[in-house]
C-alpha cells in the first residue's frame, strides 16, 4: 500500500521536470555554465521541489514521514554541483527538521548528504545519464537509512520504521531521480536536433549569399539574398532593407507600399523585434533584426511567420546567427571597398588574403558539427563572427587583450577542424594585457605555424604563444613543434618583402618601430619553428597616441 501511494505521488516528478525544461535557466544546462544568480535560482527551485516532496509524504507512527523529498536534493546536486546540492539539502532538510518527530534530525542530515551524493555522481563532461541518476538515488537512500538508524532514538522504533519504508523509498526515489534526468535529457536531445537543423540552414544560407553580399547590399543583391533565404529556410516571406529603405520583399502578393511604410518606421528605431503589419489586408508578422557592421547600421532582415507561436527560442537563435553571418559578409564587403581606395601597411591586403579560404573551411567545419554536436557548432559560429569582427576593425592599434581574443577565436575554429592534431598553450602575463600593439600582428604568425608547421605533420603538434615584459619592451614568441623550415628556405624567407604572412608582419613591425624593434625566425627542419619579435613599450604608446590624435 505504501509503495503504491509513494509511486502515485512520485508522478509529480514528471510535472516538475516539464516545468523546469521551460525555464530560461534550462538552456544553460547545455554547457553547465552557471553564474551566482543561476545557482541561486536552482537552489530556490529545487528547495521548493524538495519541500513539496515532504508535504506529499505519508505520515508514519511517531512523526516520521515516508516521502519523495530526496529526489529534489539529488537532482539539484547532479545538475548544479556540490554547492547547489548541499544548499538545497540544507534548506529542505532544515524544513524537515522543523516539522519534528523522532527522525527529524536524521532526515535533516540525510537530505544534505543526498544533495552531495547527487553532486558526487555529476559528470564533468556534462553528460546526463538516467542510469547514473538511479544509482546515485539508491546510494543516497541507503545513506539516509543508515543515518536514521544511527541518529534516531529509540533504535527499536527506527528499525521498525525502516522495515516498513526502506524498500519503497529506495526504489521510488531512485526511479524518480532517473525519470527527472531522463526527461531533461530527452528535451535536450530534441533541442539539439532542432538546433542542428537551424544551424545547418544558416550555414547553407551563408555559403550561398556570400557570393552576392561581397558586392554589398543593394536592390540586385537583396533580390538574390532574399530568394536564397526564403528557399533554403523554407519561410513564408522575407524582407530585406538597407539603412534607408526596403530593398526587397518576397512573399504573398500584398500592397507592398503599405508594408514598406511599417519598415520605414522601424528604421527610426531598429531593434530585434516583431513587426505587425496591421495596415495590410491580412495581418502579417515579421521577426525583424538589424544588420550591423562595427556598430553601424547596414540594414535589416525580416522573416515572415503565420503565427507568433512559431517564434520560439530556437527560431530566435537561428535568426540571430543568420544575421551575424550576413553582417560579417557585409563587413568583408566594406573592407574590400576600403582596400581598393587605400593600402595602409599592407594590412588590408593581408586580411583580404585570409578571408576566402578560412571562411569556407570554417563553414565546412561548422556544418559537420551541426550533425554531431549542435552546441559546439553554435559556439563555433560565435567564434567565427568574433574573429571576422576582430579582423575587420579599422583601428591600427588595439590592446593586447583584444589581439589575444582574436587569436583564441581563430584557434577555436582550427582546433575544431584538426582536433587533437593541434594543441595550444598560452603563456601571457596578465599585467601587460592593456598595452597597445599593432592590430593583426600575431594572427598571421599563428596561422603560419598551423598551416606550414603542424598540419603538414601526420601527428600534428603544439603551439606555444608567449608574451612577456622585459624592461621597457614587450617580447612576443610563437613556437611550434611542426616540421620546421630547412636552412635554404629560411634564408629566402628572411629576404622576401612580400607575398606571405611572416614577411608582411616583419615589414609592418619595421615600418612602425624601425631599429627599435627586432624580428627573428629560428627553425630546425623536423623539429619546429620559433618566430619572435620585440617592440618598445613606450614608443608603442607614443605611436598609438599619434595615430589617434
Per-residue pLDDT for 460 more than 80? Answer: yes
Convert the pLDDT of each residue in 116-141 to its tens digit: 999 998 876 667 889 999 999 999 99
Residue range 231-257: average pLDDT? 85
Q: Which of 176-180, 219-223, 543-547 has the lowest mean pLDDT?
A: 543-547
| Amino acid 533: pLDDT | 95
Residue range 230-241: average pLDDT? 89
Q: How far apart are CA 269 and CA 252, in angstroms?
A: 26
Per-residue pLDDT for 313 more than 50? Answer: yes
| Amino acid 476: pLDDT | 96
| Amino acid 33: pLDDT | 63
Residue 424: beta bridge partners? 463
Residue range 109-120: average pLDDT? 93
Convert the pLDDT of each residue in 495-533 to its tens digit: 665 445 688 788 888 878 888 899 999 988 888 999 999
DSSP 225-266: HHHHHHHHHT-SEEEEEESSSEEEEESS---HHHHHHHHHHH
| Amino acid 404: pLDDT | 93
Which of 246-284 are b and which e, b meaning 16 or more Cβ less than 10 Å from the residue's Cβ?
Answer: bbbbbbeeeeeeebbebbeebbeebeeeebebeeeeeeb
Strand pairing report for 461-470 and 518-524: unpaired
Per-residue pLDDT for 278 more than 70? Answer: no
| Amino acid 87: pLDDT | 95
Per-residue pLDDT for 346 more than 80? Answer: no
Which range in 50-64, 83-97, 242-256 is most confidently predicted, on average pLDDT?
83-97
Torsional class of 251: left (φ above 0), alpha (ψ -120 to 50), beta (otherwise): left
Residue range 368-390: average pLDDT? 81
3-state secondary structure of 464: strand
Give Cα 108 distance to the centre of its chain. 38
Per-residue pLDDT for 308 more than 80? Answer: yes
Residue range 74-91: average pLDDT? 92
Angle at 328 between CA 327 and CA 330, to 5 degrees: 65
Residue range 219-237: average pLDDT? 90
Tell me the pLDDT band of 342, cut-offs 50, 70 and 90: very low
The C-alpha cell of 184 is what?
A: 531533461
3-state secondary structure of 269: coil
| Cβ–Cβ < 8 Å for 397, 474 | no
Q: How far apart are CA 493 and CA 509, in angstroms?
A: 16
Q: Dihedral of CA 479/421/406/350: which sign?
A: positive
Convert the pLDDT of each residue in 18-62 to its tens digit: 788 777 767 666 555 677 888 898 899 999 999 998 998 888 877
Domains and CATH numbers, the chain: 2-191 (1.10.1760.20), 214-331 (3.30.450.40), 393-547 (3.30.565.10)
Per-residue pLDDT for 74 more than 90? Answer: yes
Q: Dihedral of CA 185/186/191/193: which sign?
A: positive
3-state secondary structure of 517: coil
Amino acid at each position: 500500500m505504501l509503495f503504491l501511494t509513494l509511486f502515485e505521488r512520485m508522478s509529480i516528478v514528471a510535472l516538475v521536470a516539464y516545468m523546469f525544461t521551460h525555464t530560461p535557466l534550462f538552456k544553460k544546462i547545455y554547457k553547465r555554465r552557471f553564474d551566482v544568480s543561476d545557482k541561486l535560482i536552482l537552489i530556490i527551485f529545487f528547495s521548493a521541489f524538495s519541500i513539496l516532496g515532504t508535504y506529499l509524504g505519508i505520515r508514519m507512527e511517531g512523526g516520521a514521514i515516508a516521502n519523495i523529498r530526496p529526489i529534489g536534493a539529488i537532482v539539484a546536486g547532479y545538475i548544479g554541483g556540490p554547492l547547489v546540492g548541499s544548499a538545497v539539502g540544507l534548506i529542505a532538510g532544515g524544513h524537515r527538521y522543523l516539522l519534528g518527530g523522532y527522525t527529524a534530525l536524521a532526515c535533516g542530515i540525510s537530505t544534505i548528504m543526498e544533495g552531495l551524493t547527487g553532486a558526487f555522481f555529476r559528470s564533468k563532461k556534462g553528460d546526463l545519464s538516467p542510469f547514473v541518476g538511479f544509482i546515485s538515488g539508491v546510494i543516497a537512500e541507503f545513506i539516509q537509512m543508515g543515518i536514521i538508524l544511527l541518529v534516531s532514538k529509540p533504535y527499536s522504533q527506527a528499525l521498525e520504521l525502516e522495515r516498513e519504508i526502506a524498500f519503497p523509498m529506495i526504489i521510488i526515489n531512485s526511479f524518480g531521480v532517473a525519470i527527472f534526468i531522463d526527461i531533461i535529457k530527452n528535451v535536450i536531445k530534441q533541442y539539439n536536433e532542432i538546433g542542428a537543423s537551424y544551424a545547418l540552414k544558416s550555414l547553407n544560407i551563408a555559403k550561398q549569399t556570400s557570393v552576392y553580399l561581397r558586392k554589398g547590399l543593394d536592390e540586385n543583391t537583396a533580390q538574390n539574398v532574399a530568394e536564397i533565404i526564403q528557399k533554403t529556410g523554407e519561410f513564408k516571406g522575407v524582407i530585406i532593407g538597407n539603412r534607408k529603405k526596403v530593398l526587397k520583399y518576397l512573399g504573398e502578393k500584398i500592397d507592398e507600399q503599405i508594408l514598406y511604410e511599417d519598415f520605414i518606421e522601424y528604421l527610426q528605431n531598429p531593434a530585434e523585434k516583431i513587426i505587425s503589419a496591421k495596415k495590410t489586408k491580412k495581418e502579417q508578422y515579421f521577426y525583424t533584426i538589424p544588420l550591423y557592421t562595427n556598430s553601424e547600421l547596414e540594414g535589416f532582415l525580416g522573416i515572415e511567420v503565420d503565427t507568433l507561436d512559431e517564434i520560439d527560442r530556437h527560431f530566435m537563435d537561428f535568426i540571430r546567427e543568420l544575421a551575424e553571418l550576413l553582417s560579417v559578409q557585409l563587413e568583408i564587403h566594406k573592407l574590400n571597398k576600403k582596400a581598393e581606395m587605400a593600402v595602409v601597411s599592407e594590412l588590408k591586403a593581408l586580411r583580404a588574403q585570409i578571408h576566402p579560404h578560412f571562411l569556407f573551411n570554417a563553414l565546412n567545419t561548422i556544418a559537420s558539427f551541426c550533425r554531431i554536436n549542435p552546441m559546439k557548432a553554435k559556439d563555433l559560429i560565435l567564434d567565427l563572427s568574433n574573429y571576422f569582427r576582430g579582423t575587420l576593425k579599422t583601428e591600427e592599434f588595439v590592446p593586447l587583450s583584444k589581439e589575444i581574443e582574436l587569436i583564441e577565436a581563430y584557434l577555436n575554429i582550427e582546433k575544431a577542424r584538426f582536433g587533437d592534431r593541434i594543441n595550444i598553450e598560452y603563456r601571457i602575463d596578465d599585467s601587460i594585457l592593456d598595452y597597445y600593439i599593432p592590430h593583426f600582428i600575431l594572427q598571421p604568425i599563428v596561422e603560419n605555424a598551423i598551416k606550414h608547421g603542424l598540419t603538414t605533420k601526420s601527428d600534428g603538434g603544439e603551439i606555444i604563444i608567449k608574451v612577456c615584459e622585459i624592461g621597457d619592451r614587450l617580447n612576443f614568441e610563437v613556437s611550434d613543434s611542426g616540421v620546421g623550415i630547412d636552412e635554404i628556405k629560411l634564408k629566402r624567407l628572411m629576404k622576401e618583402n612580400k607575398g606571405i604572412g611572416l614577411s608582411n608582419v616583419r615589414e609592418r613591425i619595421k615600418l612602425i618601430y624601425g631599429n627599435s624593434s627586432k624580428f627573428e625566425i629560428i627553425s630546425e627542419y623536423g623539429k619546429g619553428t620559433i618566430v619572435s619579435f620585440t617592440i618598445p613599450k613606450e614608443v608603442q604608446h607614443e605611436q598609438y597616441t599619434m595615430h589617434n590624435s
